[in-house]
Structure 1
Amino acid sequence: MKLHELKPNKGATHKKKIVGRGIGSGHGKTSTRGHKGQKSRSGDSKLPARFEGGQTPFIMRIPKRGFRNPNKVEYEIVNLKDLEKKFNENEEVNPQTLVEKGLVRKGSCVKILGDGELTKKLTVKAHAFSSSAEEKIKSVGGIVEKIS
């Protein structure tokens, strides 16, 4: 076999469509573009797939989804193991002291969770408590106070 004897497989090549060469060719007159309109003009036929001819696009017609509750309260979380590390016996724990110790940011609501063990008697003032945290604080003789 020689280089000049190579041919593509049968059906792999196609004859180029020749348009605009008279009615007798079958591809004359409108050159397979139909009649009038934007897509029949030269150079104007490249439109984005989402284009709907000036009609309000589908993405703008459908309603918005989702909702952000303006009244939702976001809590900064503090675990009992953090209180165990940072506070001494009979000390008061409140949002101001938690900010000073670097456990929460200033002006945020605080929730105490029951992860870890507590051995110190503390007075804990916070906006919210988990039930396990409340139990553990009370079991070592501490006081739980909810701030509104």
Structure 2
Amino acid sequence: MKLNTLKPADGARQERTRVGRGIGSGLGKTAGRGHKGSFARAGKGKIKAGFEGGQIPMQRRLPKIGFRSKLAKDTAEVLLYKLDALPAGDVDFAVLRAARLVPSTAKQAKIVVKGAVTKAFALKGIAATAGAKAAIIAAGGSLAE
């Protein structure tokens, strides 16, 4: 084998079709684009995603449902039983962050019921669900919001 004799295998490289080069080529005149319409024009062949030819598109025909709070991503949930890992006493957002019970991206925290709490905690500036409040108060704790 010599470098000057190298060539691709037969049929491996195909010449591109040259459109718009006369009627004898089979792709003359309109060059395979048909007559009129957006696809026949230069630079106009793209149609927006969801466009249905002027008919009201599906995403506008269907009703909007539900609600997603923008605050939800800033609020970290802290499970009730994880509070027991902390020493009894005053608990605020800084204490939860120091104990790594809330991620660094969170801006506020909310205590939710899962498990039980055995120590008395005084929560300051932390939200809690109704069940969590009842469990904390039953354990001798208090909540100040």
Q: Which residue of 2 aligns with 1:55?
A: 44
Give, in whole Å, the separation in 2 of the partners of 1:112 and 1:101.
15
* Structure 2 counterpart SS, 1:83: helix
Q: CA deviation at 1:32?
A: 8.9
Measure the CA separation in 1 of the matches of 2:99 and 2:27. Answer: 77
1:1-148 maps to which residues of 2 (within 5 A)? Answer: 30=23, 33=26, 36-39=29-32, 52-53=39-40, 54-55=43-44, 57-59=46-48, 62=51, 72-73=70-71, 74-84=74-84, 86-89=85-88, 91-106=89-104, 108-146=107-145
The normalised TM-score by structure 2 is 0.55
One-letter identity of the residue aligned with 2:139: V
Identity of matched residues, % = 22
Count residues in correspondence: 102
Equivalent-residue separation in structure 1 for 2:98 and 2:125 (angstroms): 15
Quote the RMSD (CA, aligned, Å): 3.4
Q: Give the Cα separation in 1 of the matches to 2:70 and 2:27.
A: 59
Per-residue CA distance 1:59-114 (angstroms, 9 max, x = gap): 26748x79xx9x82121111111101x2223x111111111111123462111111
Q: Name the CA distance, whole Å, in 2 between partners of 1:56 and 1:143.
A: 66
Residues 31-51 of structure 1, C-alpha deviation per residue, up to 9 Å, x if partnerless? 6947611228xxxxxxxxxx9
Which structure has the greater CA radius of gyration? Answer: 1
Distance 1:35 1:102, change over 3 A: closer
